[in-house]
Amino acid sequence: MNLREQVGQLLVMGLDGCELGPVQSAWLRMLRPGGIVLFTRNIRDAQQNRALLQAIQQSSTTPMLRCVDLEGGSVDRLREALAPMPSAGEVAALKSPHLSQLHGRLIGRAARAFGFNTVFAPVLDLASPASVKVMGARAVAADAKGVIAYAKPFLKALAANGVIGCGKHFPGLGNGDVDSHLTLPRIRRSWKKMWSEDLVPYRSLRRALPMVMISHAAFPAITGNSDPASLSPFWIQKTLRQKIEYTGVVISDDLEMKAVLARSIESAAMDFIESGGDLLLICHDAALITRAYETVLAEAEHSTAFRRRVIAAAQRVMVAKKKWARRLRFSPAPTAAEIESLRQEILHLSKLCAKG
């Protein structure tokens, strides 16, 4: 790969619409992103969504990560196109490894049916009174043991169904009381508390997590500043890579969130890569996506040290893609009967959760 292609591999980007127009096709061919993320605005049904993803993939000879937020509950991009998936919190409350695995299996099958190969789940944040208004049923337990009890079988089921999972939101939003979409959470946890509680799911599951998403929360009592974790070498390089010894792919949370975008998209993109991150997630604005790409490319062309960071990140992404080669392929299109059967299974799990 040349440098332009390597920078493209660091992008996971969103776009508008349910079909791919000529302008978007040309834009994708120019950027050649490492991945795409779709939202409810892009999805009508399985047939349309698969056609859209296949058209997107045709813009690049390198297999893409085809990503979707599909946790269940309040974060479910297939809710209207398929069926409302129960939340992770509802499933975890039943304290059944079998049902946690079933949740992962249904989410994996739903993702594959619609053409996706990557799901931004499970949430590994600890539930707390401070974050309940923000996280709701997305956080499954107040302690690491409960989080792991849900996440381990969930991840196993995703993998068995050919889907790449992503643990989030490192190092933990469990004690944040504001939404990082709107402002920067400042979580005043000590290092001792973080290491012995919030970071335990990542420490325990580090070999089972194909990907880890970094949050836009600041931890001033630990770092001595208000830099979000997503732009912090302390959290990404020193803690996740070195201390926890995580060797998988590291992706940012959406860099359009107000918690981080106050710095400018150019600054956020460069700081994330310099801090040891791999994939820049930018979900909406085409202008911001292009600016981030051009800034990272220009800096890599002029700075030897930054170019080394870019090359290392691109190599990590490509090594992971080679490992995930079977998962990156499109599975056969489901029949209408298979889609209806999947829908009924999701509704059945929802009924089990409602009964408690």
Question: Which residues partner with 214 through β-bridges?
Answer: 170, 252
Query: Which residues, 6+ apart, have CB-to-CB distance to 196 below 8 Å?
Result: none
> What is d(CA 57, CA 328) in angstroms, rounded to the nearest whole number?
11
Question: Which residues partner with 72 through β-bridges?
Answer: 75
CA angle 317, 322, 325 (to 5 degrees): 120
Catalytic positions, please?
181, 253
Residue 52's Cβ-count burial label (10 Å; 0-12, 13-18, 19+) is: buried
> What is d(CA 107, CA 78) in angstroms, rounded to the nearest whole number?
10
Burial of 283-304, coded b for 16+ CB within 10 Å and e otherwise, reads: bbbbebbbbbbebbbebbeeee
For residue 164, give the amino acid letter: I
For residue 335, give the amino acid letter: T
